[in-house]
């Protein structure tokens, strides 16, 4: 189960995520991210995330590429993101 809390920090919208990020959560996360105006920086705080699946990694990688900051990203998620980008780079060559 994923819980999402929204807060505002200066000119940033922060979504603090906790629990598991699974495929069925991604549509809601995408909707929330898109609902924010582009004049604010978006942050996803992953400090309380305990489990992600491959769909979640792809989502997070896309969000980060689009300028979303991933805060308190667990080491295993950061490593998986790195490997996902590396694999995508090799597929494009």
DSSP string, 15-58: EEEEEEE-GGGHHHHHHHHHHS-TTSEEEEEEEEEEEE-HHHHH
**pTM for the model:** 0.89
pLDDT tens-place string over residues 50-65: 999 999 999 999 999 8
> Whole domain around residue 73: which residue ranges?
2-92
SS3 state at 10:
coil
Q: Which of 54, 45, 40 is nearest to 12 (CA)?
A: 40
Residue 8 tokens, joined: 């505002």
The CATH number of the domain holding residue 11 is 3.30.750.24
Angle between helices 54-65 and 26-35 (to 10 degrees): 10
Element (H, E) at 30: helix 26-35
Task: Quote the mean pLDDT of the chain.
Answer: 91
* Domain count within the chain: 1
pLDDT tens-place string over residues 25-52: 999 999 999 988 666 689 999 999 999 9
């Amino acid at each position: 189960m994923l819980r999402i809390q929204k807060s505002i920090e200066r000119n940033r919208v922060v979504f603090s995520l906790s629990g598991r990020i699974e495929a069925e959560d991604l549509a809601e996360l995408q909707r929330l991210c898109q609902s924010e105006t582009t004049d604010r920086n978006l942050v996803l705080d992953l400090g309380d995330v305990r489990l992600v699946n491959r769909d979640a990694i792809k989502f997070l990688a896309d969000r980060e590429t689009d300028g979303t900051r991933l805060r308190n990203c667990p080491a295993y998620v950061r490593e998986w993101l790195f490997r996902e980008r590396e694999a995508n780079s090799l597929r494009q060559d």
